[in-house]
Amino acid sequence: MPKPVLMTVDDDPGVSRSVARDLRRRYGQDHRIVRAESGVAALEALRELVLRGEPVAAILADYRMPNMNGIEFLEQAMDIAPHARRALLTAYADTDAAIQAINVVDIDHYLLKPWDPPEEKLYPVVDALIETWRTVGERPVEDIRIVGHRWSAECFTARDFLARNSVPYRWYSVEEPEGARLLQAAGCPATDVPLIITPDGTALRNPTEAEIAAAVGLTTTPTGDFYDLIVVGGGPAGLGSAVYGASEGLRTVLVERLATGGQAGQSSRIENYLGFPDGVSGAQLTDRARRQAAKFGAEVLTAREVVALEARGSARVVRFGDGSEIAGHAVVLATGVSYRSLDAPGVAELTGRGVYYGSAATEAPACAGQHVYVVGGANSAGQAAVFFSRHAADVTMLVRGPNLEASMSTYLIKQIEAIDNIHVRTRTEVAEACGDGHLEKLVLLDRTTGAKQTVDAGSMFIFIGAAPRTEWLDGVLLRDERGFLRTGPDLVVDGKRPPGWPLDRDPYHLESSIPGVFVAGDVRADSVKRVASAVGEGAMAVTLVHRYLADQ
């Protein structure tokens, strides 16, 4: 296989040679360094590389170039080498343009001139570009094949499950010749979809998520029956606990019901997370955290739902939906929250058929030319609106309140205001969803006047608040009136510890009403609903686990 290409584009010959020299010194043994001195020349070189089958790992382009600036070049380069990672080389005065480029052409990084010393300023960025390209860049997508109906809720669930678990696949509609051929070869009627075909030729008809996970190689079975630390939930808090627990020598297992990342994993770009000035997608952040946990030896189980928790002496036991169980010295509950259901006629019937909860990034290509509606006014809704604006004809945000300022970060509001095809309708809610087999129209209610309006709608994505999934803990752990888990000082009322508390000390800060069971992230009562705070609580929970174990 030819060496992956690192391309640098700069109209200044001296700068071009310097960048190429520094890249060659660090990466020349394993990569081919290609340089061009104009955007036009670089595009021609990219076409030749692609025709020859040479993989392009990363492109570094200068911002200030005549005739075609770096942003314009990278936008065209995306069509030729879509898997290549992209960085913009810019002067300090152009950083605003570079930040805008992150949203326009989805660049991965920007680099400030001068980049000396390269060991500190250039190489870490290029290392990250190469690492990302190797992880998600040009992996074949032919291995897993899914055949189904465009408007089947079951087919959407299967595609969404694979996408959120970073499993590449190829989608075939039953109406396409190849889709029909695969159905016939598998002896599968068109009514029994999705049909999933694995690399070894195994055909799964309308499988469960657990069956899909096992078939595509995701880990679903624990290697042992007793651990130092069991983490329930694979969002930022759970991943934080898994990384810190495993890295500090605890035998750790993380159990996730659907896909690691939680709601944060569905974010198209998180821009206010510490240490990522250029922003990072939820999928990228999740993938890095998952690999980091695995590097330290944590087990990650996917598609396993925990349905019960109990204390048996000094052991803490969690039971799965199939009746099996594992035990450990301590448990961290990081189950996060789910989006609340939209209670309007037609919504339930059309969920998965044009109506979706969360970002549902798999639907982005299908939104081309459509009228897309995003329901909600918090950051997750704003991020989704920005993301879908790159695909849809227009995006309309429906917000119950009078404005976005009360629930959305200022940086995101400014982004939305700057995008022409995003429209915000305040004091508006969905009164009804209509369609024959899939979403076609919405009935909108003006909360101020009471007037109703029917509009065409291709897709609707719902982000309306958070509800904890803690019903399975009713009567086991103390919860607040909304179902969030109470911890630490909140459990001590008028100087009295929670009922049944067996220890001669108050609960630790993140400890629940059962000693040795800790809570981190959004599921904890009165937690700060931010990725950074969730990761911090996950790490803090491990520190408290060590303290708890030392007391035993």
Confirm whether 221 is domain-assigned.
no
Half-sphere exposure of 75 (CA within 13 A, CB side): 13
Q: Which of 170, 85, 171 is nearest to 136 (CA)?
A: 85
Do residues 485 and 513 both lie within one domain? yes
Counting DSSP H helices and E strands in the chain, the numbers are 15, 26
Domain span at residue 181 reads 145-215
In a domain, 220, yes or no: no
Domain boundary among 464, 484, 502: 464
Coil, helix or strand at residue 87: strand
Q: Tokens in use for 205? A: 């008809």
Instruction: Report which residue type is found at 484.
Output: F
Pair 471, 460 in one domain: no
Shared domain for 334 and 351, answered yes or no, is no
What's the residue count for the chain?
A: 552
Specify the pLDDT at position 104. Answer: 58
In a domain, 396, yes or no: yes
Query: The domain spanning residue 276 has which CATH number?
Result: 3.50.50.60
On whether both 125 and 152 belong to a single domain, the answer is no
Q: Give the position of tokens 């200030």.
A: 64
- Same structural domain for residues 291 and 333? yes
Asked if the structure places residue 179 within a domain, the reply is: yes
Question: Do both 447 and 491 map to the same domain?
Answer: no
Residue 205 and residue 324 in one domain: no
What is the strand order of the sheet 56-62 is part of?
32-36, 5-9, 56-62, 85-90, 109-112
- Same domain for 182 and 245, yes or no, is no
Widest CA span of the chain, in angstroms? 75
Q: What is the CATH number of the domain that holds 55?
A: 3.40.50.2300
CATH of the domain at 156: 3.40.30.10
CB 259 within 8 A of CB 210: no
Do 359 and 506 sit in the same domain of this protein? no
345 CB-near residues (< 8 Å, 6+ apart): 431, 432, 433
Rg (CA), the chain: 25
Mapped onto helix, strand or coil, the DSSP state of residue 316 is strand
In a domain, 249, yes or no: yes
Domain boundary among 185, 215, 245: 215
Given CA atoms 380, 382, 386, 391 in this order, what sign does their dihedral have?
Answer: positive
User: Is residue 371 domain-resident?
Assistant: yes
Q: Are 42 and 61 in contact (CB under 8 A)?
A: yes
The answer to whether residues 277 and 309 belong to one domain is yes
What's the confidence (pLDDT) of residue 2?
Answer: 85
Our CA angle for 384, 526, 328, nearest 5°, is: 95
Whether the full predicted model's pTM is greater than 0.85, yes or no, is no
- pLDDT for position 179: 93
Considering the domain architecture, whether residues 29 and 41 belong to the same structural domain is answered as yes
Alpha-carbon separation of residue 305 from 261, 318, 472 (angstroms): 15, 10, 11
Q: Is residue 209 part of a domain?
A: yes
Domain boundary among 464, 499, 523: 464
Q: Where do we find the tokens 């079975």?
A: 221
CB count within 10 Å of CB 502 equals 8
Both tokens of 529, joined, read: 């609903």
Crossing angle of helices 13-27 and 123-132, in 10° steps, is 70
430 belongs to a structural domain: yes
Does residue 495 come out as left (phi exceeding 0), alpha (psi in the -120 to 50 range) or beta? left
Q: What is the pLDDT of residue 141?
A: 43
Residue 354: strand, helix, or coil: coil
Considering the domain architecture, whether residues 540 and 488 belong to the same structural domain is answered as yes
Q: What is the tally of structural domains in the chain?
A: 4
Nearest to 110 by CA among 133, 85, 77, 87: 87
The dihedral built from the CA positions of residue 339, 341, 342 and 346, taken in this order, carries a sign that is positive
Burial class from Cβ neighbours inside 10 Å (0-12, 13-18, 19+) for residue 38 reads: middle
What does the pLDDT read at residue 140? 45
pLDDT one digit per residue (tens) for the chain, 552 residues: 689 999 999 999 898 999 999 999 999 999 999 999 999 999 999 999 988 888 999 999 998 888 888 888 998 898 888 889 999 888 765 666 666 666 556 778 888 888 888 888 899 899 989 988 887 655 544 468 999 999 999 999 999 999 888 888 889 999 999 999 999 999 999 989 999 999 888 999 999 999 999 999 899 999 999 999 999 999 999 999 999 999 999 999 999 999 898 888 777 778 888 877 767 778 778 888 998 999 999 999 999 999 999 999 999 999 999 999 999 999 999 999 988 999 999 999 999 999 999 888 788 888 999 999 999 999 999 999 999 998 999 999 999 999 999 899 999 999 999 999 999 999 999 999 999 999 999 999 999 999 999 999 999 999 997 889 899 999 999 999 999 999 999 999 999 999 999 999 999 999 999 999 999 999 999 998 889 999 999 999 999 999 999 988
